[in-house]
Structure 1
Amino acid sequence: ECISPEHGAGDVSLNLVFDRGGLVETGMVFSFVSSPEVLGVHPRTGSHSGGKFTISGTGFFMSKGWHCWLGDMALDGVVISSTEIACSFSSGGRNCLEVKLSFPGGLPFSTGFDICIGTTLEVMSGLPLYGPADGGTPVLLKVAGIDMEKSYSCLFGNITVPAVSLGFESINCRSPPQNGIGLVPLSVVEEGQQPGSDHHDLVFSYYEQQVARKITPASSQAGTNVTVSVSGRGFRDTSLLSCRFGSIIVAASWLSPRQIECVSPIMDPGHVTIEVSNNAVDFSSDGMVLEILPEFSVFSVYPLQGRITGGTRVDVKGSGFKETSTFVCAFGDMRTHATRTSRRTIFCLSPPHSAVSALPFQVCRERSECSGGNHIFRFVDEARIIDVHPIRSPLAGGVDVRIVIDQDFIWHAPRCRFGTVSVPLDIISRNIG
């Protein structure tokens, strides 16, 4: 290792000389170049979490070994061109540090510039970053460089509003009203100051206030979840799109600017107000009300079999058949109106069906949830009479008449009808009556 001597600009050969005049030619060319001149450093501020800066000047040449210095911290320099060197640092304190530069293999020299790290405000993130044009949205900002002893303001475009420091790197402020919708820059500055040319901005989006006009269904059953469709206008496809059931906020699914869906939480009987929000904080105030009805239960269903031509009366016993509710019977996907006879009983007529089959049977509130357990209703062909014996009786009656039919049939209040006279029927076996 040797130190280059003072020399004029130009290329010279580099050789090794030993005692007694021995010479070893290396065949290498060594260049003496003019000392670099630093003209500027940009930017002059940096984040305490790290960043980049550029040294501009003249006399930079392509080579490894350049170093930038922040105070006593050596950083690798990358020569971009003969007039520019880029440097990066990973972290720093809250102070101003002298910037130095070192030639490959040389000692650092002062550039005459410094960089202030962590002394300017850097807005790193915010939530939410959108709200209605009438303002009032609480925005939580993560800001580097906060001094807890100072006061700060938020700038939405050119409108200044007070900011509240919540602790380490956290500031809260409310969006001011805006004349119209659109995007504005969002900055944080010391109170009474304006942002500098190198400040860090976020963008805040103003939108038209959402409106809820109709909900479907208008009722739900206590103890169950139901998907509620909300119609209106101004719905935005955002990650914070929400519905609020009373005080409970749930995520919503965007279908269009005029329709969203959300799944209700499990709630007690009563009435609950539903409001919607594009950002989970600014909710509508349109007063849509969902009625939460008491739970109803199905205990028994009879009969569970009927003709494919339909018209079989099906009696249902249970509880919670409220007078103000409208019920339907569901035979698979087919629904028929149910008639309420008491809080514990309803009945309905089976619909026509195209083929012999077995379908799940349930009782449902109209356009709402269903109950019924594991009941299966069988659609069967008309029963055909195979044999009747005897076929005569004295006028006084009293003859036992046996009837054979062609299928296993579940009888509901069975009777024999002779002309216009009906008499009770006793089932003797599964296929003889």
Structure 2
Amino acid sequence: VAAVWVSEGEVRCETPDVPAGRVEVQVSNNGVDFGPGSAWFEFVSVARVAGLTPAVGSVAGGSVVRVAGASFENSTGLGCRFGSTLVAGRFVSASEVECVSPGRGTAGSVSVEVTTNGADFTEDAAQFRYVPAASVSHVTPSSAPARGGTLVTVHGSGVSDVVGLGCEFRAASSPAGSAAVMAPAVWLSASRVSCVAPAWVGPLGPASDGTPASWEVRISSNGGAESSSTFGSLAVTADEGVESLVPARGPAGGGSVVSVRGSGFAFGGALQCRFGLAAVAAVWVSEGEVRCETPDVPAGRVEVQVSNNGVDFGPGSAWFEFVSVARVAGLTPAVGSVAGGSVVRVAGASFENSTGLGCRFGSTLVAGRFVSASEVECVSPGRGTAGSVSVEVTTNGADFTEDAAQFRYVPAASVSHVTPSSAPARGGTLVTVHGSGVSDVVGLGCEFRAASSPAGSAAVMAPAVWLSASRVSCVAPAWVGPLGPASDGTPASWEVRISSNGGAESSSTFGSLAVTADEGVESLVPARGPAGGGSVVSVRGSGFAFGGALQCRFGLAAVAAVWVS
């Protein structure tokens, strides 16, 4: 081949197309005679570049790039050229060379070629992309459960949308240079990527140096070959397990404060409970308890889970039942003694036969007895002073109706005596019952109970008219039964008590009302006398009873009578 003279001691020649192998090289000044002096040149197979790993690196340089190809030679001239910058190469095999990318002032792509002799380069134009150095400021959410699977957003700057974009998760307590976990990332913007946190391996307690369990999260633009120098912390928490709820049922429409008990609950502003699909904020009490207010959810049974980070809800769960909202329509009786003890029938709707069933009188909660979905019975508690209180019903011991049905507490009435002190068996006598502590209430009445009747036997109730705090009037009922003394010698009489609530309870004290036979007049002797009066008349008949109130009435004029028999 033709040569180019450089000096008496140097010429330059371009090698011809010769198969691979070792050949002798000589020079001729006349194109005919080739000098006796010679050297040897080796024709080698043509090197080729097939690809780069990674194919992306920081403009700061320093990426260890594995160049895959063919016919690479372990020679002193082995190197890679990034654009126009040549760097030394490290021979790995005939199909792989390693080179460290040089720095570059601006982002962009360059061709990477290989040389085995420092002079001749491949011509395959494998592309290496320079990108800005990414930085990380923080991660959201700020915590993730140890089980992994949390979709996190990594915030920062200088993030490029490249193949191989990923998140590097490295345990904060791990030694420098220890293995990290790589997760593919989705580019969202130059300042955000998203990726899925891996499962934590190892104990969750603080490390020996006091470092709590957490990930250092970095961004890598080339599959983990290099990562950002800055990182965001992602705290690792125990998996949230729910074991029980108190209460475990409440009204549809929400508003119940529920104590959620379990394990793995972490204090933080993102703590939440989820009722079915509805999430609400939670208040941290301890690692084993949080409190949540139920959301507005229709009646039905839903699963309850807890999340420490507002994103991932733990695998452990319990069930909460939303029930129709209970209502109170009325109370019977609606009045009772300050001493308590009134059996109050609460009428309403949507009552539940549950262990938490109860009635609240003012601020005092008492147990309830389920009668039906529309009726509950509760015994009124005692109260220090007279007055009205609201009565509400709960089916879970925590949530109450809001219907403000009024129950009136009144002083305990007492009875001293009754006037008149006797009444005929036929009934109809208007009597006045005297005593104290009598309240003017709806349901005021007189209880008439036969003095000889067994305890607990039925009494006769008569409506009463309130006259004052010490007097009521009512009409005595007819006596039923014989008028003679009972077997124990008790004469026929009524025990008269005052009730402030229609007979639900009555005063402990009573006044006696003797029952006499009906007075029958058969004849008079004499049967006539002077106008102006003064005649002593013997009135004969039956049923006349000895007593200071014995009278005769002539027309409309009543006079005292003397009992003979």
TM-score (norm 2): 0.53
Q: Secondary structure at the match of 1:425?
A: strand
Take 1:398 and 1:427, find their aligned partners in 2: how far apart are those partners? 13
Is 1:192 the counterpart of 2:220? The answer is no
Take 1:326 and 1:263, find their aligned partners in 2: how far apart are those partners? 18
CA displacement, residues 254-296 of structure 1 (integer Å, 9 cap, x when unaligned): 1111111111101111001100011112211223000111111
CA displacement, residues 85-110 of structure 1 (integer Å, 9 cap, x when unaligned): xxxxxxxxx947xxxxxxxxxxxxxx
Residue number in structure 2 paired with 1:352: 382
- Tell me which structure has the larger Cα radius of gyration: 2
Moved more, 409-418 or 120-129: 409-418
Residue number in structure 2 paired with 1:313: 343
Shift of 1:150: 3.9
The change in CA–CA distance for 1:393 and 1:429 in structure 2 (over 3 A counts) is same
Task: From 139, 155, 171, give the equivalent of 2:193.
Answer: 171
Structure 2: unaligned runs, 5 residues or longer: 1-58, 61-104, 108-129, 171-179, 205-212, 474-565
Task: From 132, 145, 153, give the equivalent of 2:145.
Answer: 132
Residue number in structure 2 paired with 1:417: 449
Shift of 1:395: 4.0
How many residue pairs get aligned? The number is 321
Take 1:204 and 1:339, find their aligned partners in 2: how far apart are those partners? 53
Take 1:426 and 1:130, find their aligned partners in 2: how far apart are those partners? 72
Residue number in structure 2 paired with 1:337: 367
Shift of 1:313: 2.0
- What amino acid maps onto 1:147 in structure 2? S
Take 2:430 and 2:223, find their aligned partners in 1: how far apart are those partners? 108
Q: Secondary structure at the match of 1:250?
A: strand
Q: How does 1:70-109 map to 2 (within 5 A)?
A: 95=106
Asked if the contact 2:357–2:397 (Cα under 8 Å) also holds between the matched residues in 1, the reply is no
Asked if the contact 1:220–1:293 (Cα under 8 Å) also holds between the matched residues in 2, the reply is yes
Asked if the contact 1:153–1:162 (Cα under 8 Å) also holds between the matched residues in 2, the reply is yes
Task: From 164, 183, 189, give the equivalent of 1:161.
Answer: 183
The change in CA–CA distance for 1:127 and 1:365 in structure 2 (over 3 A counts) is same
- What amino acid maps onto 1:184 in structure 2? W
Shift of 1:223: 2.0
- What amino acid maps onto 1:133 in structure 2? A
- What amino acid maps onto 1:289 in structure 2? W
Take 1:208 and 1:397, find their aligned partners in 2: how far apart are those partners? 81
Moved more, 283-292 or 320-329: 320-329
Shift of 1:362: 1.5
Shift of 1:326: 4.8
Task: From 127, 132, 139, give the equivalent of 1:119.
Answer: 132
Take 2:355 and 2:297, find their aligned partners in 1: how far apart are those partners? 18
Residue number in structure 2 paired with 1:144: 157
Is 1:378 the counterpart of 2:378? The answer is no
Please state which structure has a larger fraction of its residues in strand: 1
Take 1:302 and 1:132, find their aligned partners in 2: how far apart are those partners? 55
Take 1:308 and 1:129, find their aligned partners in 2: how far apart are those partners? 57
Residue number in structure 1 paired with 2:248: 218
The change in CA–CA distance for 1:303 and 1:396 in structure 2 (over 3 A counts) is closer
- What amino acid maps onto 1:160 in structure 2? M
The percent identity for this pair of structures is 25
Q: Secondary structure at the match of 1:341?
A: strand
Q: Secondary structure at the match of 1:220?
A: strand
Residue number in structure 1 paired with 2:531: none
Shift of 1:321: 1.8
Q: Secondary structure at the match of 1:393?
A: strand
- What amino acid maps onto 1:274 in structure 2? V
Residue number in structure 1 paired with 2:231: 201
Please provide the CA RMSD for this pair: 2.6
Task: From 450, 464, 483, give the equivalent of 1:427.
Answer: 464
Take 2:333 and 2:425, find their aligned partners in 1: how far apart are those partners? 35
TM-score (norm 1): 0.68
